[in-house]
Structure 1
Amino acid sequence: MNLIEKGIEHMQANELEEAANTFNQYIEENPTDPVGFINFGNLLNHVGEYDKAQNFFNRAIEIDSKSGTAYYGLGVLHFEQKNYQQAAKEFQNAVRFGLDDADAYYMLAVSLRNQQNEKLALPFFQRASELKKSDTEIQFQYGLSLAYNEQIDHALNQLLYVTELDDQHADALYNTAVCYLHKEQPKKALTFFKKTLDAQPDHMLAADGKIKVEEYLSEG
């Protein structure tokens, strides 16, 4: 196990001082390798030392101006501070410099969504979903993005896929019901409102939807 792997192991065990010492040792022994600075930056991000973390990421970029992981770290840093415009810029840099990673595309998409730019976010949610097909949160958010972009048929198929991955995913079940309402299929919508409540009995939106659809069907 090298020093970087050892430092990451300390981080995962929440042994933060040990992680810092290990990454610092790596940097001292490898001052021209951006990896040490990136991992120390990630550690500082983790504890909320954003200014210090930024210095480490910037140092990594000085060493390698095309380090996708360094830009990703900066993206996380700005995202954590709710600076979504700058976060999106850094995540775009990460992708541009070769970080073909589901989390990078996902974080870029969420950063754009948080700027109310759902249309631009959609292809990045799609790419994330392609790279991590079993990640229910990524798949769900892609489904929502399709719905927000009024691609209801595609959204419905995507949300049904999420319910295949997790048949207790209450928000996916609820939004499936909403899609069926948009498609004017109230009986199917009612089925999924009920499934939502089975998964999460206190889901108020589903409860309200169920009552309204039952009233509509009884009048018909």
Structure 2
Amino acid sequence: MEEKNISEVEEHNQQGKVLFSLEKYNEAIEMYKNAESEDPMYLESYFNLGEAYVMLDEYNKAKESFNKVLLIDKKNAITYFHLGNVEFLQGNNDMGREYYAKAINNGYDDAQLYVNMGNVAEQAGNDEEAI
């Protein structure tokens, strides 16, 4: 029975990703919520939900979803990166930097993080930090 449950969760997530790629974010969210109902400990569902909420500019819901990922896996570096992005989108630069630091401390080493940090520093008029 457990195998069936896992495959249903994965199927819902895959369907959600297809809908997401077609920019049908609300429909994708429904698929991810179906996956959550099947297995509330499957962190990919919450991560996917967070990404879909970001696309709809529903940042508080996105943060809630990303934080659920961290309840399951507190060292999930990419989730800290996404939380940082949401904070930057909301104008909370200090919190965004804090999340980025957590992403780095947990092993996230994607160039986009550093590009984003440089852009934020440049917008703040701190050219030295931007470089």
TM-score tier (shorter) = 0.7 to 0.9
TM-score by length of 1: 0.50
Distance 1:41 1:77 in 2: 10
Distance 2:124 2:73 in 1: 30
Ranges in structure 1 where 5+ consecutive residues have no aligned partner: 123-220
Whether 2:55 is the aligned partner of 1:39: answer no
Higher gyration radius (CA): 1
Q: Using the aligned pairs only, state the percent identity.
A: 25
Paired residue total: 122
1:59 is aligned to 68
Distance 1:93 1:83 in 2: 16
Matches within 5 A, 1:74-113: 74-113=83-122
CA shift for structure 1 position 121: 3.4
CA shift for structure 1 position 92: 2.1
CA deviation profile, 1:22-73 (whole Å, cap 9, x unmatched) = 1112222231132211110111111111112111111111111111121122
TM-score by length of 2: 0.79
2:14 is aligned to 5
CA deviation profile, 1:100-153 (whole Å, cap 9, x unmatched) = 22222222332333333333333xxxxxxxxxxxxxxxxxxxxxxxxxxxxxxx
Whether 2:16 is the aligned partner of 1:21: answer no
Which one has more relative contact order, counting CA pairs under 8 Å at least 6 apart? 2
Ranges in structure 2 where 5+ consecutive residues have no aligned partner: 1-9
Output the amino acid matched with 2:60.
D
1:114 is aligned to 123
